[in-house]
Amino acid sequence: MELVRTTPILLAPGPTEIDPRVLKSMATFAESHFAQPFCNTFGDVLTMLRVLFQSEDPNAQAFVIGGSGTLGWDFVGTNFIEPGEAVLCLSTGYFSDGFEMCLSTYGARTTRMAAPIGTAPDLSVIEEALRTVRYKALVVAHVDTSTGVLTPLKPISDLLKRVSPDTLFVVDGVASVASEDLQFTAWGIDVVVTGSQKAIGCPPGLSILMVSPRALHVANTRKAPPSTWYASLVRWLPIMQNYEKKESSYFATPPTQIVHALRTSLLVMLSRPLEERFQAHREASARVKAAIRELGLTQVARKEEHQANGVTAFWLPDGLTSKDFLSRAAAKGITFVGGMHKELGHKYARFGHMGYSAVSEDAGHIDKGIQVLREVIMEYYSERANDSASRYEATFTGPVRASL
């Protein structure tokens, strides 16, 4: 089966380019979700996810549910937080805010702690908040894809252990799992929400979660029953436990082909040490960020320690809108994506370098992406210089030219 490419290379922070082996798994023949072969596939996936999440407690549980990463937010809202409970939501962009709004839909009493755009919330401010209110959960986007801001988790983990050990540590890892080091057990994380289509390198369509034994207990013993059917942990838990034992079980039909693709992706990923994968992301990221700098541009994420390794959000030169930038880049064979911010979205663009494109040097995606980025920006600089010169000329010789 040969795959013939006719589309631009996708360097977005999700969906990302897909390893051809993973893509081929998408064309797996139809099979019953009740039959043994699929149980084996799904079982492998659930077990391998433990390794990817660095989850060492056998009583933690991975969940793989048909839907987008966003569905994971509902899963958190309906299972781990009772209506009226206080939740501290750190915000570093569009997705942090979405998570917060989702939780408040489920009745959580949320406190939004937003850092200025491009920065991560200050630890001392978080500590103060944790000392003031007894929060049921602290929610943070490890990487907010909208801004490329990475919030280091280890310091928050240390802070929670020290100041508020009963608070559930909930992480949106949609744009970080498989591109950033994320140590589920060592950092005492209770819930990580992610999707299939970013650094995990599959097509979109799966909501993927890892849940600690403590969070499972919270969900299993909550007073109010879960307010949804499809996102109910108590309904999905036995399904995941059975599939991990390679036994069939039914609540809703899983997206069998994407589960196959996920198995292939995990097999490829885990055939090398995870640290190598993270290092490949750091290197790809460093190359992109160097190119941005050399072009005289600045990143949305201000400090190096808050810059994600899977995506670079950068301010465009004055006068170049993201729409214009994207169409110029697309014409040269690369799909980047624009900014996501109510007022500032059109002023910046995002270069995704996660998953297959970051780890497979042979594919040459990052090289090509940097080349196109340089060409587009340099061409724009050059047009602007000409334009500026001709405007200068127009002003200076205006009356004469006008008379021609």
Catalog residues that contact a copy of itself under the rule CB under 8 A.
1-3, 5-7, 10, 12, 14-18, 23-24, 26-27, 29-35, 37, 66-71, 73-74, 77-78, 101-102, 105-106, 195, 197, 203-205, 225-232, 250-258, 330, 335, 337-338, 340
CB 105 within 8 A of CB 77: yes
Question: Of 364, 359, 311, which is closest to residue 337 (Cα–Cα)?
Answer: 311
Q: Which is nearer to a copy of itself, 4 or 400 (CB)?
A: 4
Residue 87 beta carbon to a copy of itself: minimum distance, rounded to whole angstroms = 14
Residue 404 beta carbon to a copy of itself: minimum distance, rounded to whole angstroms = 41
Residue whose pair of structure tokens reads 């999440």 in the numeric block: 53
Residue 67 beta carbon to a copy of itself: minimum distance, rounded to whole angstroms = 4
With a CB cutoff of 8 Å and minimum separation 6, the contacts of 311 are: 13, 143, 145, 148, 175, 350, 351, 352, 353, 354
Residue whose pair of structure tokens reads 């990475």 in the numeric block: 150
In Å, how far from its chain's centre is CA 133? 29
Residue 103 beta carbon to a copy of itself: minimum distance, rounded to whole angstroms = 9
Q: Which is nearer to a copy of itself, 230 or 315 (CB)?
A: 230
- Residue 150's H or E segment, with its range, is strand 149-150
The one-letter amino acid code at 92 reads: T
Paired strand residues for 90: 113
Q: Which is nearer to a copy of itself, 188 or 201 (CB)?
A: 201
Residue 17 beta carbon to a copy of itself: minimum distance, rounded to whole angstroms = 5
Q: Which is nearer to a copy of itself, 5 or 223 (CB)?
A: 5
Q: 3-class DSSP state for residue 102?
A: helix
Residue 197 beta carbon to a copy of itself: minimum distance, rounded to whole angstroms = 6
- Residue 314's H or E segment, with its range, is strand 311-315
Q: Which is nearer to a copy of itself, 94 or 187 (CB)?
A: 94
Q: Which is nearer to a copy of itself, 3 or 400 (CB)?
A: 3
For the record, the structure tokens of 290 come out as 């160097």
Residue 190 beta carbon to a copy of itself: minimum distance, rounded to whole angstroms = 20
In Å, how far from its chain's centre is CA 394? 48
- Residue 254's H or E segment, with its range, is none
Rounded Cα distance, 26 and 259, in Å: 9
Residue 285 beta carbon to a copy of itself: minimum distance, rounded to whole angstroms = 19
Q: How far is residue 214 from each of residues 19, 192, 211, measured CA to CA in Å?
A: 36, 13, 8
CB 19 within 8 A of CB 3: no
Q: Which is nearer to a copy of itself, 106 or 169 (CB)?
A: 106
Q: Which is nearer to a copy of itself, 229 or 396 (CB)?
A: 229
Q: Which is nearer to a copy of itself, 65 or 295 (CB)?
A: 65
Rounded Cα distance, 15 and 362, in Å: 20
Rounded Cα distance, 367 and 287, in Å: 9
Residue 242 beta carbon to a copy of itself: minimum distance, rounded to whole angstroms = 16
Residue 5 beta carbon to a copy of itself: minimum distance, rounded to whole angstroms = 6
Q: Which is nearer to a copy of itself, 130 or 326 (CB)?
A: 326
- Residue 155's H or E segment, with its range, is helix 153-163
Give the dihedral of Cα atoms 278, 184, 12, 29; nearest 10 deg. 100
